[in-house]
Amino acid sequence: MAKITYSRTDGTSDTVDVPVGSTVMRGAVLNGVRGVVGECGGAGQCGTCHVFVDAGDADRVTPLHPLESEVLDTTAVPRRPTSRLGCQIPVGEELDSLEVKLPDYQLPPV
């Protein structure tokens, strides 16, 4: 298990135990963390598990894949240098106590 904290811009956050071998997206969705959608179930296809990983934590997570980067170009809240897709970050013990920040929304407002 790794404890991962999902922080929202309104100052609220959820900390959940995510099993090793799962992903940052699944940890959130399984436990109903508000602010992560994961529409495609983790196929890296929808861009609705957008998270920000602080630069200081960048070397703890797996590197950005080119197709992931392309999806990040289309997220509802525009990408930043720290943007990642939660579904593309596998969880291992080394991510224990990681905090990710969530964008204001995952789906474009209609």
Partner 1 sequence: MTGRPIVVVGGGQAGLQAALSLREHGFEGRLDVVCAESEAPYDRPPLSKRFLAGTAGTDDLTLRAPAFLDDRRISLVQDTHAVAVDRADASVALSSGGSLPYDRLILATGSTPRHLPVPGSAHPAVRVLRTVDDATRLRTKLQPGSRVVVIGAGFTGLEVSATARGLGCEVTVVEALDRVIARALSRPVSEHLLRLHRENGVRILFGRQVTALDGVPREAAVEVLLADGTRLPADVVVVGVGVRPETALAETAGLDVADGVVVDEHLRTGDPRIHAIGDCARFPDPAGTGSLRLESVQNATDQGKYVAAFLMGADAPGYTAVPWFWTDQYAAKLQIAGLTTGHDRCETDGDPASGRFSVRCYQGGRLLGVESVNRPADHIKARRELAALRAPAAAAAAAV
Q: Residue 63 has which token pair?
A: 């590197």
Residue placing its CB nearer to partner 1 in the complex, 14 or 51: 14
Residue placing its CB nearer to partner 1 in the complex, 51 or 85: 85
Please list, in sequence order, all residues whose beta carbon lies within 8 angstroms of the beta carbon of residue 70, skipping any fewer than 6 positions away. Answer: none
Residue placing its CB nearer to partner 1 in the complex, 56 or 66: 66
Binding to partner 1 (CB under 8 A) within 81-110 occurs at 108-110
Out of 24, 46, 51, 100, which residue is the one contacting partner 1 (CB under 8 A)?
46
Looking up tokens 């970050």, which residue turns up? Answer: 89
Out of 35, 47, 86, 103, which residue is the one contacting partner 1 (CB under 8 A)?
47
Binding to partner 1 (CB under 8 A) within 65-84 occurs at 67, 70-71, 73-74
8 A C-beta contact, residue 48 and residue 38: yes
Terminal Cα distance for the chain, rounded: 37
8 A C-beta contact, residue 30 and residue 43: no
| Distance of alpha carbon 87 from alpha carbon 24, whole angstroms | 6
Site for partner 1 (CB under 8 A): how many residues? 24
Which residues of this protein are in contact with partner 1, per CB under 8 A? 19, 21-22, 26, 29-32, 39-41, 43-47, 67, 70-71, 73-74, 108-110
